[in-house]
Structure 1
């Protein structure tokens, strides 16, 4: 299933770098998602839990179509048990090697085992 970013998700994918570096200067939108430079130090995705607070959220990062990596290779995942009223969860990914291998990456977010969102981004 291919989901294009919603307005809230567009603002949520943030480039985190030392110092006050605005993400908008280094990303562009492409039909596949967002585009970032290979020198990006790490990604943090902020996901609003909405009415699903009190659930278990799992974020899984994939190398969807990436040079030198098998297709749809799972890179990392983390689970967060939210408390009632918790408004958001964060999922972070840092490269295992620098620069990142170029290609299309994906983050899938599941709430209590059900896919609720996915975000794609390109590194070039």
Structure 2
């Protein structure tokens, strides 16, 4: 990026790194959005929907990196951009339809993402 801020959220909320694989589709995007909006992991066992907390959604193909063999990860499990980008967009659209305030990164960009992790929780959701 060129130093500009594309998306940011303040206060309690979620940073969501979305990886897309070859068998994901519109239903996966819908289920993920619903799960994220209702997941009770914020303070007091509240969800984003309870607090109207924002979400920052960033595409992250490297979540599907496979480093079991050799010293370089393989990215073959990650869906290519033309498949992944519409599905990441679908997650964002579904969240907004549920009432969420959503900020995003820029698909395919080399971004610097900063996080203040308030609490001992990081989850992998496979829907």
Q: TM-score, normalised by structure 2?
A: 0.29
Higher radius of gyration, 1 or 2: 2
Give the structure, 1 or 2, with the largest relative contact order (CA under 8 Å, sep 6 or more).
Answer: 2
Q: TM-score, normalised by structure 1?
A: 0.29
Which has more strand, going by share of residues? 1
